[in-house]
Amino acid sequence: MTQYTNYYAKKRFGQNFLINSFIINEIIRLFNPNINDHIIEIGPGLGALTKILIKQLNYLEVVEIDRDIIKILQHEFKSEIANNKFVIYEADALKFDFNNICNDGLRIIGNLPYNISTPLLFYLSNFNNIKDMHFMLQNEVVNRIIARPDCHDYGRLSVMLQSRYDCCRLLFVGKDAFDPKPKVDSAIVRLIPRDPNLVMQIDFKKLNMIVTSAFNQRRKTILNSLSKIIEKDYLIDTLSQLNIDTTKRAENITVDEYILLSKKIIFFNKV
Ligand code: SAH
């Protein structure tokens, strides 16, 4: 988009545009769009991913917050808009109703602004019409999302997201792939919702309480950290029924064990 090289990226919207065409093509290849897929891109920016997607799809929607960017996109994709191939929503993705555009099978892609990435992931977990999501995030955040037990990166984010999604890292993306160049490296993560019958049975509020309490004191044993919110004898009984060693620490408990714990525990008046 050479005619727009004088566009100045806005920091407040976390604008770091992809400029490395090898990486851009790799992302699309891994995303693997099919011509009839219902896809929405969050934060299309100057269209690095958008223009390839549009070529490969019958129809594409994007949600973008920045009016100046939208004007550029409207100009660039004039004919696709006129032919009803391309729709731009001017909106904050954190408030956008993703249910409104699609009943089922929605695919989401986006090179997300770092400042909204975690809240957006939690916001999107409210929608059950999503087939898969592919996001560019800070590499460190991706490390935490995909972390397995017994390692330093394993924490609240890992448990809360892995309980809903199968999470995997697809590609490391160095900071040189962007303009302006961010301070940190990035990576592409793929999130696929787990079996809805399984997810439906999870009380995420309760799970979050348990996981937050456990990881807030990650050096303590699970018995000590959780006895802040759960009566100790009841906790000992519950952990033993679930075969969870009371001397384990938060990072040694698997996602499935946290889920079991959240199903078994009944909160009395301690919380
Ligand atoms: N996808 C492009 C741009 C990435 S920069 C590329 O890879 O080059 C992030 C984009 O997200 C910018 O276009 C920014 O304006 C947009 N954005 C920032 N906050 C947003 C929000 N809350 N909702 C929707 N879009 C947002």
The pLDDT of residue 62 is above 60: yes
CA-based nearest residue to 249, from 216, 271, 202: 216
- Give me ligand 1 centre to Cα 8, in Å: 13
- pTM equals 0.94
- Give me ligand 1 centre to Cα 179, in Å: 13
Residue to mutate (ligand 1; options 16, 28, 111, 120; most atoms within 8 A of CB): 111
- Give me ligand 1 centre to Cα 135, in Å: 12
Question: pLDDT band for position 20 (50/70/90)?
Answer: very high
The pLDDT of residue 4 is above 60: no
List, in sequence order, every residue forming a beta bridge with 89; answer none if it has no partner: 63
Q: Distance between CA 98 and CA 145 in Å, rounded?
A: 22
- The larger pLDDT score, comparing residue 2 to residue 144, is at 144
Is 175 within 8 Å of 182 (Cβ atoms)?
yes
Q: Which atom of ligand 1 is nearest to the CA of 17?
A: 8
What pLDDT is recorded for position 270?
52
What pLDDT is recorded for position 2?
38
- Give me ligand 1 centre to Cα 247, in Å: 45
Residue nearest to ligand 1 atom 20, measured at CA: 65
The pLDDT of residue 129 is above 50: yes
String of DSSP letters for 107-166: EEEEE--GGGHHHHHHHHTT-S-EEEEEEEEEHHHHHHHHPPTTSTT-SHHHHHHHTTEE
What pLDDT is recorded for position 103?
87
Please give the mean pLDDT across all residues of the chain.
95
What pLDDT is recorded for position 267?
82
CA-based nearest residue to 147, from 203, 215, 202, 210: 215
Question: pLDDT band for position 147 (50/70/90)?
Answer: very high
Question: pLDDT band for position 268 (50/70/90)?
Answer: low
CB atoms inside a 10 Å sphere around CB 188 = 23
The pLDDT of residue 205 is above 80: yes
Ligand 1 near 111 CB (within 6 A): yes
Q: Distance between CA 37 and CA 107 in Å, rounded?
A: 7
The pLDDT of residue 6 is above 70: no
CA-based nearest residue to 214, from 242, 240, 252, 245: 252
What pLDDT is recorded for position 256?
97
- CB within 8 A of 226, min separation 6: which ones? 210, 213, 214, 235
In the chain, how many H helices and how many E strands?
12, 9
Residue nearest to ligand 1 atom 16, measured at CA: 43
Ligand 1 near 47 CB (within 6 A): no
Kindly list the strands in the beta sheet with 60-64, ordered across the sheet, starting from the edge strand earlier in the chain: 86-90, 60-64, 38-42, 106-111, 130-138, 186-193, 165-173
Q: What percent of the chain has pLDDT over 70?
A: 96
Is 226 within 8 Å of 264 (Cβ atoms)?
no
The pLDDT of residue 236 is above 90: yes
What pLDDT is recorded for position 193?
98
Mean pLDDT, rounded, for 28-55: 98
* 166-188 pLDDT, tens digit each: 999 999 999 999 999 999 999 99
Mean pLDDT, rounded, for 206-227: 96
The pLDDT of residue 269 is above 90: no
Residue to mutate (ligand 1; options 21, 28, 64; most atoms within 8 A of CB): 64
The pLDDT of residue 113 is above 70: yes
206-215 exposure pattern, b = at least 16 Cβ within 10 A, e = fewer: bbbbbbebbb
The pLDDT of residue 5 is above 60: no
